[in-house]
Amino acid sequence: MAFESLSEKLSAAFKRLRSKGKLTEPDIKAAMREVRMALLEADVNYKVAKEFIARVTERSVGAEVMESLTPAQQVIKIVSEELTALMGSESRGIHINSKPPTVVMMCGLQGSGKTTHSAKIARYFIKQGHRPLLVACDIYRPAAIDQLKVVGEKAGAPVFELGTEQPEVIARRAYAHARDHGNDLVILDTAGRLHVDEELMAELGRIKEAVPVDETLLVIDAMVGQDAVNVAASFNEKVGVDGVVLTKLDGDTRGGAALSVRAVTGKPIKFAGVGEKLDDLEVFHPDRMASRILGMGDVMTLIEKAQETQDEKKAQEAAKRLLENKFDMNDLLDQIAQMKKMGGAAAMMSMLPGGAKVSESDLEGSDKMFKRMEAIIQSMTPAERAKPALIDPKRKRRIAAGSGTRVEDVNRILRQYEQMNKLMKQMKKRPKGGRRRLGGM
Ligand code: GDP
């Protein structure tokens, strides 16, 4: 997970601070030296790290902290506030024009994730009731148009292409097409190069002259680190950038780009890419990211993800069936599918407070467990799923063989199911007003 090492180092520094009762100025300075090292090791721009430390130190050695009853806590609060400010304070999505269509131009180096994120953003807006049009402006790589078509179809957005016509001509025609066909959002997927070059910048400039671009989004691969920040600075200087889409934050990036890009370019990070799937897109919230970096979790994003992926009707039905003691293996299968849609145990744990400390192997273990449970339930007959009591030892062996698991695994699921039912019966007996929640697995 991104920021893992930074999180660990910061928490070690804070632990030492907490172990002291009152804090002296040298205590704080020593802690800040550690924080500075941690930031530099996370590939944060040198100047950005230096200024950050200066601000935090200045605020921390004030009377407000040193005389407070929980000085270490106060310092952590200041670090959290300054981290948030560093990444841009409030989150900003894309401004949708009152007079459609809104035009978004995606630009960035090759492989940064432009095509994938064009489709992710299309999908994000489709979910909000918009009708985006994806436009293939990368005319140099023959596979680029096909790739956009593939992801466009997955996202449920139409793709406009004119083969190897000039990009600015494609953009102009796409704009007219969108107006005629009721597409209120035009997303231009432009060409990338391996390095920043004049020709590419000129081409992006011509596109901007041809159509009224509302948002120029620079797509940056977070794994690239410091260099990403330099790239951002040149794109901003030459083309003008309104915001950044920071991709591949799911990898083990050290996080420097996320922490420096705003400070160096003055442009906000608007979206974060957190995986290869089209749903792996988050609106970037600096405060939530700061909270994740400091190991305090990001419960808000987790709740939003749950709301987004949970099929409200299905969830209510499941809750009702649970209360009526009718919750069967089919419902359990649905619940597992929901968990998987949210990115599985690993993605969810990383957003819980202290989540970064859960070991990778534990997480892999729980994702494997869900897969196993799913395979087992899928090997049951419909009658068995509705009434697991029907499953006799012979069937258990068949189910285990059918799902590539062991009889113990089948027994375990049946036992868990029994326990859940028992628990529900007990809860039903409780007086009214007691809280009823969907039982966990
Ligand atoms: P483009 O050349 O800028 O259009 O980049 P692509 O959209 O083709 O992406 C390059 C590669 O990065 C592809 O293999 C994508 O699947 C992968 N990728 C894009 N975004 C993400 C992300 O947020 N996380 C991960 N893990 N992979 C990504």
Domain coordinates of the chain in residue numbers? 4-86, 102-296, 305-429
Residue 114 is labelled as binding a ligand: yes
Tell me which residue of 231, 295, 259 sits closest to 41, measured CA to CA.
259
Residue 326 is labelled as binding a ligand: no
Write out the H or E segment, with its range, that includes residue 200.
helix 198-210
Please tell me whether the overall predicted TM-score, pTM, comes out greater than 0.90 for this model. Answer: no
Residue corresponding to tokens 């007691």: 434
Q: Are 353 and 295 in contact (CB under 8 A)?
A: yes
Q: Which atom of ligand 1 is nearest to the CA of 144?
A: 4
Amino acid in the structure at residue 214? D
Residue 191 is labelled as binding a ligand: yes
Instruction: Say how far apart CA 20 and CA 17 lie, in whole Å.
Output: 6
Residue 328 is labelled as binding a ligand: no
pLDDT score recorded for residue 253 = 80
Q: Which residues pair with 245 in a beta bridge?
A: 219, 271
> What's the 138 CA to ligand 1 centre distance in angstroms?
15
pLDDT average per 10 residues of sequence, the chain (441 residues): 83 87 87 93 92 93 75 86 88 83 96 96 95 96 92 97 96 97 97 88 96 96 85 92 93 83 90 93 90 74 68 72 76 77 68 57 72 90 89 94 92 85 68 44 38
Instruction: Say how far apart CA 48 and CA 90 lie, in whole Å.
Output: 19
pLDDT score recorded for residue 353 = 61
343 within ligand 1 shell (Cβ under 6 A): no
Instruction: Say how far apart CA 178 and CA 175 lie, in whole Å.
Output: 5
Domain 4-86 has CATH 3.30.565.10: no
Residues found in the chain: 441
Write out the H or E segment, with its range, that includes residue 220.
strand 215-221
Of the chain, the end-to-end C-alpha distance in Å amounts to: 25
Residue 247 is labelled as binding a ligand: yes
Classify residue 105 by its DSSP letter: E
> What's the 115 CA to ligand 1 centre distance in angstroms?
7
Phi-psi region of 182 (alpha: psi -120 to 50; beta: other; left: phi over 0): left
Instruction: Say how far apart CA 119 and CA 149 lie, in whole Å.
Output: 9
Amino acid in the structure at residue 316? Q
> What's the 117 CA to ligand 1 centre distance in angstroms?
8
141 within ligand 1 shell (Cβ under 6 A): no
> What's the 111 CA to ligand 1 centre distance in angstroms?
6
Ligand 1, atom 5: nearest CA belongs to which residue? 113
SS3 label, residue 266: coil
Q: Which atom of ligand 1 is nearest to the CA of 151?
A: 7
pLDDT score recorded for residue 352 = 64
> What's the 221 CA to ligand 1 centre distance in angstroms?
8
- CATH of 102-296 among 3.40.50.300, 3.40.50.1820, 1.10.490.130, 3.40.50.10420: 3.40.50.300
Residue corresponding to tokens 């749903």: 279
Q: Which atom of ligand 1 is nearest to the CA of 116?
A: 7
- 120 Cβ contact list (under 8 Å, min separation 6): 155, 271, 273, 278, 279, 280, 281
The neighbour count for residue 106, using CB atoms within 10 Å, is: 26
Ligand 1, atom 2: nearest CA belongs to which residue? 111
Tell me which residue of 47, 35, 106 sits closest to 229, measured CA to CA.
47
Ligand 1, atom 10: nearest CA belongs to which residue? 111
152 within ligand 1 shell (Cβ under 6 A): no
pLDDT score recorded for residue 307 = 67
Q: Is the ipTM of this complex over 0.95?
A: yes
- 230 Cβ contact list (under 8 Å, min separation 6): none
120 within ligand 1 shell (Cβ under 6 A): no
Residue corresponding to tokens 């953003």: 121
Instruction: Say how far apart CA 116 and CA 276 lie, in whole Å.
Output: 8
DSSP 40-70: HHTT--HHHHHHHHHHHHHHHTSHHHHTSSS
253 within ligand 1 shell (Cβ under 6 A): no
Residue 433 is labelled as binding a ligand: no
57 within ligand 1 shell (Cβ under 6 A): no
Structure tokens at 110: 């090759």
Residue 255 is labelled as binding a ligand: no
pLDDT score recorded for residue 362 = 64
SS3 label, residue 431: coil
pLDDT score recorded for residue 363 = 64
Q: Residue 101: is the preceding peptide bond cis (ω within 30°)?
A: yes
Q: Distance between alpha carbon 270 and the CA centroid of its chain, in Å?
A: 12
Residue corresponding to tokens 């790589």: 141
154 within ligand 1 shell (Cβ under 6 A): no
pLDDT score recorded for residue 406 = 93
- Rounded to 5°, the CA angle 181-184-186 comes to 90
Q: Are 95 and 89 in contact (CB under 8 A)?
A: no
CATH of domain 305-429: 1.10.260.30
7 within ligand 1 shell (Cβ under 6 A): no
Residue 403 is labelled as binding a ligand: no
